[in-house]
Chain A
């Protein structure tokens, strides 16, 4: 009785029996019986039902898969990839030589010559610049000015010019001392408005947001340019934002909020 080996045997036996029986039960019901019987009711053959239960083929064993003949109608043709994002981090000589043709409006160092009309590119995220160039070119964001400009650019050239301007420092000081935007606007920036389903602007455009890849930085752009873009999103005139991320936010904004937000970002240092 006190022989250790004999004391061990029942433990090993019962532990293994218990575990194997639970496993057998699960396989019988979860892998076979439930999917097969669900499949039979839904008109799916037993083999397919088991494949679906195991995740080898998509779909539920209990329902038909919906079909689609949808045609692609993308809002933008930009698709991010790890390689593309990586190449956008590298400023090259090619970018510098191409940038000459942009300097007439956006400045040699990425600071726009007429801020009310053209955005600053200095310090902008390279992904944001690239996305807009690409959209101008494909017509996702039609522009009488920009679409012809970028038509000749290749993929590599758009990457190079984006990386080039992104490397410049942001405009250092405001052009003129601007009034404060007020607490309500700052609330929209930091908290959003759950009543209107509006996330905080910071959720995408903040410095540490974890938001969409192509979200641009907004600080130091001119009030006029920012307000014009917000209005374009609000009216749907501009619609190259992926899955209406900006249109859905801009739509419920009031006119005075648009001006206030534009003022906020024009006069802020941090975002």
Chain B
């Protein structure tokens, strides 16, 4: 194995380990909330488990998945060895140490603040330091990705950077912008409070800073799935990418529009104004454009594949696609879940309409469909697609992989469709138990049980996924194909592209302008006059 392959192997296994643990906790949390009696439930165990679930799923799992996949892309798409593998391993060690530190702190009951922190509640400082280490590890990865692309461009003057790598670096650049918000919140507000250096903090400011991160982080998770859509899926389906230019443009649009929209997470907050909420809602509406462009471009790419395989008619090419291939199947299921999740998201971002669903199960359903659905199912498919090259062995059973993907899809729908309904009825988020004796809440009970069944299916699917990867270890059949065959070529492979589509200088400047317009005043207002401070409430108090 090359350095990059070993890095990918280590990073992905760590990601999936965190994922498996979080999955078990997630099912137990749904059980606790259901009318069925669940074991081990106390306020402290429940919220510690929610913290662990969110931390593992939102930070640890995607960060390591994205780092590992990035190393793989940098090596295979650029076709040159990874620069500075020692730095990459150091980043891995740093992130692993941070993840372990955070985990131990959470399970000792000293970090029941959930993954979104909620200052002025403050957890043990080791929780935050652990997360800072995970993020710092990802920053090292970002630099490595940018260096790898720069080196390639120097060696290949005038040639367009391969799309997979271009998109990976777009994600790295976006992630550096994204983490500014949460890093500022942690370093200037929360960690000093956790250390006892500050007894009070400005909650309006901390919420605003976190919102800076909170939307773009979703695109950070999502971009590997989009990389798969644009580069791996057309190849797996036996077609071509419809438009390389549109691919580049899509990733650029994600970079610029996923950042200045975070206030849509604060639509119900009293410390931000109608005017700036409206501005960011309008920008949020535009974020749906790159997603809709992707639906079309990937649809067209698959149409090429379907027609090449003999599909006819307006929609007949769909049936002609090779649905037996996990990557193609996962794409179809991912787009279906993206449709449901995107619908929920459109309602969430709709300015005053957010009041109908804010902090209800509707929102939980939305982001489970986007993250758990679209993102994670493509992580599965990516792992299945690159595991032969990473381990050097052929897949033992495609049927088991397909079953796993179908189970994931079914479980996700069974879980989230009732959540949408319950959310509209007013079922709220983040509680350990409901009072099912209340006449209004009693009616929710059966639907909560249905969603729990969905959760159990998801757990089964997740365990089958781990099993499927382990199966590679017992497989004896060596893997033959070269990894380069993973990526599709476009209908018109670009001979050269304008610098705007081959780098990020122009777009970074635009992000800066947009962030100043969208977030300048909403942040500056906390430094005008006497911005109120709230007393710190320590969750890890030792008396």
Contacts and interface: CB of A to CB of B under 8 A. Distances in A.
Interface of A: 2, 4, 7-8, 11-12, 15-16, 19, 22-23, 25-27, 29-31, 34-35, 52-55, 60-61, 80, 82, 85-86, 123, 125, 190-192, 194-195, 197, 199-200, 202-203, 206-213, 217
A213 B537 contact: yes
B435 A195 contact: yes
Contact of A209 (B501, B513, B514, B541): B541
Given A25-B282, A194-B435, A203-B43, 5 more contacts: A34-B278, A82-B535, A199-B43, A208-B44, A210-B539
Given A27-B279, A35-B275, A208-B540, A15 B110 contact: no
A262 B282 CA distance: 57
B121 to A, nearest CB: 5
B167 to A, nearest CB: 18
A125 B42 contact: no
A19 B113 CA distance: 37
B435 A190 contact: no
8 contacts: A30-B279, A53-B274, A55-B275, A61-B274, A200-B43, A202-B42, A208-B109, A210-B121
Given A34-B278, A206-B44, A15 B506 contact: yes
B195 interface: no
Contacts of B542: 207-208
A4 B137 CA distance: 36
Interface string B251-282: 00000100000000000000011111111001
Contacts of A210: 112-113, 121-122, 537-539, 541
A34 B533 CA distance: 32
Contact of B42 (A25, A197, A200, A212): A200
Q: Among the interface residues A4, A55, A210, which one has the most CB atoms of the partner chain B within 10 A?
A: A210
Interface in B304-351: none
Given A54-B273, A190-B44, A210-B121, A22 B499 contact: no
Contacts of A125: 543
A207 B541 contact: yes
Given A123-B543, A192-B43, A202-B43, A82 B435 contact: no
B434 interface: yes
Q: Among the interface residues B112, B122, B277, B500, which one has the most CB atoms of the partner chain A within 10 A?
A: B500
Given A85-B199, A200-B43, A8 B539 contact: no
Nearest to B286: A22
Given A53-B273, A53-B274, A202-B43, A11 B498 contact: yes
Nearest to B278: A30
B275 A8 contact: no
Contacts of A213: 535, 537
B499 A211 contact: no
A26 B282 contact: yes
A19 B253 CA distance: 11
Interface in B98-129: 109-110, 112-113, 121-122
Contacts of A11: 498, 500-501, 506
Given A35-B275, A192-B43, A202-B44, A19 B537 contact: no
A191 B543 contact: no
B540 to A, nearest CB: 5
B543 A194 contact: no
Contacts of B198: 82
Q: Which secondary structure dominates where chain B touches chain A?
A: mixed
A47 B68 CA distance: 54
A208 B110 contact: yes
Interface in B396-445: 432-435, 437
B283 interface: yes
A208 B282 contact: no
Contacts of A203: 43
A35 B122 CA distance: 38
Nearest to B537: A210
B488 to A, nearest CB: 25
Given A82-B200, A199-B43, A211 B275 contact: no
Given A11-B498, A11-B506, A192-B43, A209 B278 contact: no
Q: Among the interface residues A22, A30, A199, A207, which one has the most CB atoms of the partner chain B within 10 A?
A: A30
Given A11-B506, A22-B286, A29-B278, A207 B199 contact: no
Contacts of B109: 208
A221 to B, nearest CB: 14
B513 A19 contact: yes
Q: What 7 pairs between A and B have smallest CB-CB spacing?
A: A30-B278, A55-B273, A82-B199, A7-B498, A210-B539, A190-B42, A11-B500
Contacts of A15: 256, 500, 506-507, 510
Given A27-B279, A29-B278, A191 B42 contact: yes
Given A4-B499, A210-B121, A55 B272 contact: yes
Interface in B346-381: none
A22 to B, nearest CB: 6
A52 B121 CA distance: 30
Nearest to B432: A191
B80 interface: no
Nearest to B201: A82
Contacts of B510: 15-16, 19
Contacts of A207: 541-543
Contacts of B279: 23, 26-27, 30-31
A25 to B, nearest CB: 6
B496 interface: yes
Nearest to A32: B275
A29 B282 CA distance: 10
Contact of A22 (B282, B498, B533): B282
A107 B109 CA distance: 34
Interface string B481-501: 000000000000000101111
B41 interface: yes
Interface in B19-65: 41-44
Given A15-B510, A19-B510, A208-B109, A31 B275 contact: yes
B201 to A, nearest CB: 10
A16 B149 CA distance: 26
B275 A190 contact: no
A256 B500 CA distance: 75
A269 B276 CA distance: 52
B517 interface: yes
B161 to A, nearest CB: 15
B41 A191 contact: yes
B355 to A, nearest CB: 13
A65 to B, nearest CB: 14
B151 interface: no
B90 interface: no
A53 B199 CA distance: 33
Nearest to B282: A26
B514 A19 contact: yes
A30 B517 contact: no
B475 interface: no
Given A8-B499, A55-B525, A190-B44, A86 B199 contact: yes
A131 B276 CA distance: 41
B253 to A, nearest CB: 10
Nearest to B274: A53
A190 to B, nearest CB: 4
A209 B272 CA distance: 29
